[in-house]
Amino acid sequence: MVAYDESGVVPIKRTLQNIDYQNQACKELEEPSTKRVRPLGRVTSLANLISPVKNGAVRRFGQTLQASFRGDGRSPSVPHHKACSKAAAPTPPKRRNSTLWSETLDVHQKGTFSTKEIKRQEAIFELSRGEQDLIEDLQLARKAYHDPMLKLSIMSEEELTAIFGDLDAYIPLHEDLLAQLAKATGPDGTVGEIGQIVVDWLPRLNAYRAYCSNQLAAKALLDQKKQDPRVQDFLQRCLESPFSRKLDLWSFLDIPRSRLVKYPLLLREILRHTPTEHPDTTSLEQAVSIIQGVLADINMKKGESECQYYIDKLEYLDDRQKDPRIEQCKSLLCHGELRNKSGTKLHVFLFTDVLVLTRPVTRNDRHCFQVYRQPIPVQDLVVDDLQDGDVRMGGSFRGAFSNADKAKNIFRVRFQDPAHGQSHTLQVNDIFHKQQWLNCLRTAMSVVQSEASAATTTTTTTTDVCSKRRSSTASSVVHMDEIDENQPQNAASAPSSPQTASRHLTRPEARVRFVSHLMTNH
């Protein structure tokens, strides 16, 4: 907001700026400086990403990029002289075209469509416009980030491949949908039927399974490479350039994933504005079902990849910490950074069958998680919700000589049998995250308990049926048992308890059902 003087004509802020400029000019005349000051300005083109070197090839490469992104038709060899020595104002970021479909029509043409049809065409136009934006972003990621970093040797080809994946392979996929939509567009700018087009095209999105599954490893590698000053400087200059729209590199790399989750919303919006008697109604309902299946499959693969990524990052101090359940897990329910009672930062992982507490460490520039204490199987896990103030955090020595506030947002995890391991009092940042952890832990425990209970019931029923069958068809065997009941029996022939039988016979099946259910809702 700008304030005005009493006359209401000249802004006070502008007047103060003029006074500051006059004072600055007088100061420069009174105290001449012999220092050579180089004006610093924001980067307004990708050419400034190139460090000043004597190599003519690199200089020409930078000039070519400058001309291509500026698009002003000026020859790179012609120097551009600024009108004044003052640093130029930063160029505003490039904006997306937000034109609506109805804005492309004239007044008379717009009156020929019903309100419902206009909304339907707006939804279809949004789908088409989004495909065009995605294609431009994928091309930009290659042209503005991948290729310059490769040619300037900022990253190796292997590192860039691990980070960018096969982005080029997905461009024709979306170009094909865009071409089909353009072909289905009539002379009046409307799309008659779109349902069968998307039904045939959506299954091809399964190509993103590998890309989405690699995102966690790609993000970790990119964060590691940002420690290199050359990489950080390059990415920062790109961020300050207009073409980036104030988005960092990872935002561009994550655009395909965010686009995938929008397809169900876009298709439902088109279906909502499609009349019931329209030929697209059935095919659009089928398209929504198809995209939900595709996303569920991608989520499952992504969840398995994320789970295996963290399992590979675990580091054990003792072989007794290696629980075979960890290697068998296919899904990671939740994980995050917590603090224990002594204030130590722990990274806690809740897999489908085991809770693992770790400490983040670095080994030869490699980030890993050192397993802390003994992992707790979910079937042996007990969770206690502690009230604020029940425990003092920071250790007994600190608590004895300080007046620190009592701990908040805490809970305790422990073994059912204390002899198997010690308990852990954990603290989270706020009540919301505490409730999330408690819900996730209790859900995992309830599923395991319900599976074990169902297995026990099944085993007991089977045992009762077998006993009745033996009593009705083998009375002589029963008689032999009665005769020998006082004799010592062989331990190997003694029947196991229903609990033991269910644990050994049905537990693998229970694990498969549990993992499958959670991965579907990952």
Does residue 184 carry a pLDDT above 60? yes
Mean pLDDT of 315-341: 90
Closest CA to 85 of 50, 45, 49, 37: 37
Residue 101 pLDDT grade (very low, low, confident, very high; cuts 50, 70, 90): confident
Cβ proximity of 270 and 294 under 8 Å: no
Cβ proximity of 331 and 351 under 8 Å: yes
Find residue 133's DSSP bridge partners.
none
Strands 332-339 and 354-363, by their bridges, are unpaired
Does residue 39 carry a pLDDT above 80? no
Does residue 38 carry a pLDDT above 70? no
**Residue 284 has what pLDDT?**
95
DSSP letters spanning 359-390:
EEEEETTEEEEEE-S--EEGGGEEEEEPPTTS
**Residue 93 has what pLDDT?**
54
For the chain, what are the domain ranges?
97-309, 316-395+406-454
**Residue 463 has what pLDDT?**
53
Mean pLDDT of 80-89: 44
DSSP letters spanning 446-487:
HHHHHHHHHHHHHHHHHHHHHHHHHHHH-HHHHHHHHHTTTS
| Structure token pair of residue 498 | 């229903």
Report the CATH fold assignment for 316-395+406-454. Answer: PH-domain like (2.30.29)
pLDDT tens-digit map of 13-26: 444 444 454 455 44
Q: Give the residue, 74 or 183, on which the prediction is more confident.
A: 183
Q: Which one-letter DSSP state was computed for residue 34?
A: -
Mutual angle of helices 263-272 and 115-140, in 10-degree steps: 160
Residue 422 pLDDT grade (very low, low, confident, very high; cuts 50, 70, 90): confident
DSSP letters spanning 112-165:
TS-HHHHHHHHHHHHHHHHHHHHHHHHHHIIIIIIHHHHHTTSS-HHHHHHHH-
Q: Select the CATH number that applies to the domain covering 97-309 from these four: 3.30.70.920, 1.20.900.10, 1.10.760.10, 1.10.3720.10.
A: 1.20.900.10
Cβ burial 101-117 (10 Å sphere, 16+ → b, else e): beeebeeeeeeebeeee
